[in-house]
């Protein structure tokens, strides 16, 4: 597989991995917990989802041909908590992810060095993808942390459980060396 193709496959798997982490965290919560804010300066999980989705719709709509910060985007409104049900939260979540997935599916390896713009700043397609691959996991980490706080002791770990690193590493090192994406095993584990 060529490097460009390998890169695209890798980022698709990584986005999917973080999507699944967010979904598994959200799935552990009671509907009302999605709307909890600890104080005035924090966003609820529902609000974080609304922001991620708004960003995705803006960035991935006409990804190669228009600025990633669309004129129709109202970023400030993404931080207004106007959602009222878990179904609404998941609908907005899925809408954003669908735009991202469609854009990546329609991307050809030859386009990775094309220049696109976000707020009039030129990025190669690779840079734009990497920018979002840093942005979304940042917020998904917030969702996971927040969900963990809300669930307290009832939390089902989404990564290597506490005090299980030795067992996890023993399993990994008991296998033959192979070249694969780290998400291959993680995606299977999260299913």
Q: Is residue 167 part of a domain?
A: no
Q: Is residue 126 part of a domain?
A: yes
Q: Is residue 177 part of a domain?
A: no
Q: Is residue 8 part of a domain?
A: yes
Q: Is residue 188 part of a domain?
A: no
Using the 8-state DSSP alphabet, how is residue 121 labeled?
A: E
- Rounded Cα gap, residues 14 and 93, in angstroms: 17
* Paired strand residues for 117: 122
Confidence of residue 22 (pLDDT cuts 50, 70, 90): very high
pLDDT of res. 1: 60
Q: Is residue 184 part of a domain?
A: no
CB within 8 Å of 21: residues ≥ 6 apart: 140, 144, 158, 190
What are the tens digits of pLDDT across the range 94-138? 999 999 999 999 999 999 999 999 999 999 999 999 999 999 999
What's the CATH number where 19 sits?
A: 1.20.120.450
What is the number of structural domains in the chain?
Answer: 1
pLDDT of res. 113: 96
What are the tens digits of pLDDT across the range 71-94? 999 999 999 989 999 999 999 999
pTM as predicted:
0.91
Q: Is residue 135 part of a domain?
A: yes
* Lookup: tokens for 24: 């598994």
Q: Are the beta carbons of 6 and 128 closer than 8 angstroms?
A: no
What are the tens digits of pLDDT across the range 143-183? 999 999 999 878 888 888 888 898 888 888 888 888 877 77
Q: Decide: helix, strand or coil at residue 56.
A: helix
Confidence of residue 46 (pLDDT cuts 50, 70, 90): very high
Percent share of the chain, pLDDT over 70: 97
**Domain around 80:** 3-156
pLDDT of res. 140: 98
Q: Are the beta carbons of 62 and 113 closer than 8 angstroms?
A: no
* Confidence check: pLDDT of 185 > 80: no
Q: Is residue 94 part of a domain?
A: yes
> How confident is the model over 43-69, as a mean pLDDT?
98
* Confidence check: pLDDT of 45 > 90: yes
């Amino acid at each position: 597989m060529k490097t460009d193709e390998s890169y695209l496959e890798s980022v698709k798997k990584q986005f999917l991995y973080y999507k699944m982490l967010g979904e598994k965290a959200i799935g552990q919560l009671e509907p009302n917990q999605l709307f909890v804010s600890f104080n005035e300066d924090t966003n609820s999980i529902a609000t974080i989802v609304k922001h991620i989705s708004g960003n995705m719709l803006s960035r991935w709509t006409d990804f190669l041909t228009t600025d990633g910060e669309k004129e129709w985007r109202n970023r400030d409104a993404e931080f207004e908590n106007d959602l009222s049900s878990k179904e609404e939260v998941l609908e907005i979540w899925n809408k954003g992810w669908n735009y991202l997935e469609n854009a990546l599916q329609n991307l050809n390896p030859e386009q990775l060095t094309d220049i696109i713009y976000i707020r009039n700043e030129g990025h190669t397609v690779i840079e734009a993808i990497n920018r979002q691959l840093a942005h979304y996991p940042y917020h998904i980490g917030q969702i996971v942390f927040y969900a963990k706080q809300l669930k307290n002791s009832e939390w089902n770990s989404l990564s290597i459980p506490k005090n299980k690193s030795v067992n996890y590493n023993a399993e990994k090192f008991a296998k033959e060396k192979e070249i694969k994406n780290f998400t291959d095993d993680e995606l299977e584990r999260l299913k």
